[in-house]
Amino acid sequence: MTLQDAHPDEYGAVLAPDWVDRVVRDHHPHDGSWIYTIDTPRPDGPALLLLHGVGNDGGIWAPVMPTLAERGPVVAPTVPARLLKTPEGGRAETIDAMLDHLAAVAPPPWRLVGHSMGGVLTGLILRYRPDLVAAAVLVNSPLPSVTRRIQEGDSLDRTGRALLMLKALSRATSFGRPRLPKLLRGPELLLVRTALNGFVIDPGALDARVITRAIMSTRTSDGLDFITLAREIPETDSQPFDEVPVAIVLGRGDPLVPESDFETVQARYPAATIHVLERCSHFAQFEQPARTLQIIEDHLRS
């Protein structure tokens, strides 16, 4: 396990100041769900697919996409709720549907980076179809603890309730955008920063556009479907896996993947390189973006 001491001055840094203007939102060819790319021509090479977590869409990666795109093609698709429901054919059919959804925006083999629940989805893809994945990075992914508690029936524990409250607050305070009077936008931002306590180390240090354009604007209604998926994750997901190179990024202060789970994470991915970021909670790509992207790029190069 590798410890990465992030420099305090790097916390919340915006790597590409023009990221809002460079991220392009388009429609998926199959169902019209949002996919996010970069406006500049993409270099050749295997696509880097960025998978989001509960209650977000692909836009949660937008602030760091321009920097990642310097190394190759980057696509951040939205995984719609309908793909997460277990059909009569079982979980394998669900995974096949998700693979088809991803293949429609970028042909495999993929380089996968999954944040939070997106990391759990990445783990499922690794176990079902490792031949489609060239390399994978899991960022703040609740590998053992949250999914275990969900499987045991405690889907509304303290963490789950906090997540639901955060999403409810972001929905309520962003209602009516962009017609919200300027006079209310300051209090709105303050409310959301307060709601982020526990999910980021220092909400006040995050750029306002990261909160309003990446966190608050990526709202989906698939939270309960993701919880259902987690409850139904098969036992094979808890077995050791080392067929594809994997790097794992964890935050020292992440409530969803506490330090007590670090050894279990290592046991599930015995060959993985695990990086623990200091002064980081659940959103490493926003809190320690330079360090997180360096880990991703180093892993993909190696």
* pLDDT surpasses 90 at 279: yes
In whole angstroms, give the CA distance from residue 76 to residue 65. 8
In whole angstroms, give the CA distance from residue 146 to residue 117. 10
Query: What pLDDT does residue 278 have?
Result: 93
Evaluated on CA atoms 168, 169, 174, 176, the torsion sign reads positive
Average of pLDDT values for 20-25? Answer: 94
Percent of the chain with pLDDT over 70: 72
Beta bridge partners of 2: 275
Query: What pLDDT does residue 182 have?
Result: 64
What's phi and psi for 196, nearest 5 deg?
-80, -10
Proportion of the chain in helix, strand, coil states, percent, rounded to 5:
45, 15, 40
At 3, the pLDDT band (50, 70, 90 cuts) reads: very low
> Hey, what domains does the chain have and what are their CATH numbers?
2-154+222-301 (3.40.50.1820)
Most confident of 31-40, 75-84, 289-298: 289-298
What's phi and psi for 50, nearest 5 deg?
-110, 120
- CB–CB of 166/199 below 8 Å? yes
Q: Under DSSP, is residue 291 helix (H, G, I), strand (E, B) or coil? A: helix
Name the residue with higher pLDDT: 134 or 228: 134
Average of pLDDT values for 43-47? Answer: 74
Give the E-state strand segments of the chain in sequence order: 2-4, 23-27, 34-38, 48-51, 74-77, 110-115, 133-139, 246-251, 273-277
Name the residue with higher pLDDT: 74 or 145: 74
